[in-house]
Structures are given as structure tokens and as C-alpha cells.
Amino acid sequence: TMNNKKDELNQFLLDNDVDIILGSETHLTQAINNSEIFHPTYTAYRCDRYDGYGGAIIITKRSLIVEEIEIKDRKSEIVAIKIESLHKPVILVSCYRPPYRTLTEPIFQDILKIEKKYRNNPIWIGGDFNLPDIDWNTKSIVRNHYPLAINQSFLDTLDTCGVEQIVGFNTRKNSILDLFITNRPTFLERCSPIPGFGDHDTAILVDVICQQKYCKPSPRKVYMWKRVNMDILR
């Protein structure tokens, strides 16, 4: 769980000067505050599951100008934010699709809602979708761990949104479970594997071209003690 790996996670954030992390299967509950887990220079936007399993998260530097996106009637484990940039705001979405076999997938509907509202913005979607049946080189369904309808519904969702799945390497054993999806693939400079933090062998490191805005530090008073009348102060 993320709470058990907080030292390792914070060390990674600081050593690599990471701007943003999209995470899933956090195993956090509302009883755990961000301040208990993350370094003070970072904050997090979370979708926690009531039973303490699953969950989705987006971790960002506090210096970024961020607004959480409300997802009306949300029925899936998904969280979304908007980051101000020098051009159009960037939309980031983190997802976790549990390994269910329900033919009606609410997470696909939630993704469609966000894309419909922000289709003119750069969109980055990441997370664990637990769909090992899809061959992403050919965008075809080559295995049958899950019903055909679930896999096809996901491919149809991506086509409807006009987005592209980028990850081309295995993230857990012989499967690509963790995905990075965007409607601006030409902005991508690098997508490469790095050691994972959980039960997945590999995490995904992505470099994307984005000129983000930063919060200006608040002005503060600096008191000049040499000007103090010490007699009056005493």
C-alpha cells in the first residue's frame, strides 16, 4: 500500500524532481491525511475506496496551479485535475479498473464525460486498467481473460475519445496492465519503464512537453533586528 511505502515514494519524488505522479491501488482511506504520507512540497488528489482497497491518486508539486475536476455521478475509481499552463490547461486523469467482469464499465463512461467536456485541451490519462487481453501493437483482442465485450468497449471508448495508448512494454509479468493515454501523442518525448513500487514489476516514466505555470511565492516580511530599540523591547 502507499502508506507502507511512503518513505520510498518520497525519496523517489525528491531525488528525481518529479512534477506529477498518476497512481492506482493506493489502499488509502479518508482517515489518512495527505500530510501523513507526502513531503510538504507535494500534495495529492485522491479517490479512496470505502473498504481501503483499490483507489486512484494524482500527486503534484504544490508549486503547480491545480484545480480538481468534479466528476458528476462518479461511479468508478477515477480522479481528475486541471493544471494551468502557458497555453491551454492540461487535463490529467488517474484511473483504477478493478479486475471485475461486469459488462457495463462505469469507468469508461466517466472517461467519456471528461473527454467530452475538455476535448480541446491536452488530456493525459494513466492507471491500471487490468485488461491483459489487448495487443496494443495491433489494437486487437488476442486473449480471453475477460469477456470480449469489456475489451471491445474499452477500445471503442478510446476511439470515441480520439486518444492513443502509448505504453508498449509489459508492466506486470507478460501483460500491459498500466496504460498511458493521450490525445496529444506528438507532445510525448519519452515513455520508458522504471522499477515499480507495488505488485507490478514496472512503473511508467513519461516526459511530456508542457510549459506549466507556477505559483508565485507569497511576499513575506523580513524584520531587521539591527533597527530595533532593544531598551524599549526589553
Model pLDDT for residues 78-122, shown as the tens digit of each residue: 999 999 988 889 999 999 999 887 777 899 999 999 999 999 999
Give the span between the Cα atoms of 45 and 70, in whole angstroms.
11
Give the span between the Cα atoms of 203 and 59, in whole angstroms.
15
Instruction: State the pLDDT confidence band at 231, using cuts at 50, 70 and 90.
Output: confident
More confident position, 209 or 32: 32
Contact criterion met (CB below 8 Å) for 214 and 86:
no
What does the mean pLDDT of the chain come to? 90
Q: What is the pLDDT of residue 20?
A: 95
**CA-CA distances (angstroms) from residue 124 to 2, 157, 206, 216, 220?**
22, 15, 10, 25, 36
Q: What is the pLDDT of residue 85?
A: 87
**CA-CA distances (angstroms) from residue 22 to 42, 47, 108?**
13, 12, 18
More confident position, 34 or 212: 34
Question: How do residues 168-218 score in pLDDT, each as one tens digit?
Answer: 999 998 999 999 999 999 999 899 998 887 767 778 889 887 765 566 666
Which of 8-17, 51-60, 201-210 is predicted with the least confidence, judged by mean pLDDT?
201-210
Q: What is the pLDDT of residue 5?
A: 87
pTM across the whole model:
0.87
132, 127, 131, 101: which is closest to 114 by C-alpha? 127
Q: What is the pLDDT of residue 224?
A: 65
- State the Cα angle at 212 between 60 and 115, rounded to 5°: 75
Which of 30-34, 163-167, 229-233 is predicted with the least confidence, judged by mean pLDDT?
229-233
Stretch 136-151: mean pLDDT, rounded? Answer: 94
Query: Is residue 12 pLDDT above 60, yes or no?
Result: yes
Stretch 63-89: mean pLDDT, rounded? Answer: 93
Query: Is residue 225 pLDDT above 90, yes or no?
Result: no
- Count how many Cα atoms sit within 13 Å of the Cα of residue 132 in the half-sphere of its side chain: 11
Contact criterion met (CB below 8 Å) for 62 and 43:
yes
More confident position, 218 or 150: 150
Q: What is the pLDDT of residue 91?
A: 97
